[in-house]
Amino acid sequence: MSGRLRVMVLDRRPEGLLNCLVCILLVICVPDMAFPQEANSGEFHSGGSSPTGESQGAMEQRGIQWTFDLAALMLSPGMAWPVGSNWRVGWGIGVGDDVLGFMAVGGNHYSEPGWWSYEDRDGATDKGLFDLLHAKVFARVEPMAKWHLDIGLHGSIFIHSDSSDDDFGGGSSVTAYVLPMYGWRHVKFGPRLAAGYFWGCGGASEFGVKVSPLILRVSFG
């Protein structure tokens, strides 16, 4: 099992960083080149219309939004309720993890070679941390039709392996995360940045920052 996990995460850091950089460039630098611009998106609308062409009354009458967040070997359905013209609150559950994800900052046990460690490393290589199950609660702001920003808490049960042992170690984590997304009405994408504590794996308890470079969201409602 650990061999398969190591093969799965082998050399994913350069690919993950490349995906993250491409995503950030598309979302921040050249969004209008990445996606077709909505008609009249930059024009002033009279009669109570928002810059996205959606009336304030229609925004306030929005119903429940169902979402499916997808990544390589991850599926996370969720739902969110409107609590204002631009805000929602919600929750989600899921299985699996983004295999391109990596621990950008870690301590002795969870830090990955090539990224940052605030403690002396334990010397093990081929590290891999993979969520089996996870749950989240969040607030979602929707300033424009093309943009979503999730801010929330994410808890998971994970497995971890490295070159020091052929067996998986288990653990759990609780992190705060931000997930900016950009795209069309029903399909968006973006990177997730999560910071918090990771417990387990032989008593290791460390602060870590985990990056998932590219998450795809399909939404309805």
- Indicate whether 200 belongs to any domain: yes
- Indicate whether 59 belongs to any domain: no
Total number of domains constituting the chain: 1
End-to-end CA distance of the chain: 40
Burial 65-93 (b: 16+ CB within 10 A, else e): bebebbbeebebebebebeeeeebebebe
- Indicate whether 153 belongs to any domain: yes
- Indicate whether 26 belongs to any domain: yes
The one-digit pLDDT tens for each residue of the chain (221 residues) are 444 444 444 444 555 555 555 555 454 444 444 444 444 444 434 344 444 444 444 444 478 999 999 999 999 999 999 998 899 999 999 999 999 999 999 998 899 988 999 999 888 888 889 999 999 999 999 998 899 999 999 999 999 888 877 667 889 999 999 999 999 999 999 999 999 999 987 678 999 999 999 999 999 97
178 is in which domain, residue-wise? 2-31+80-220
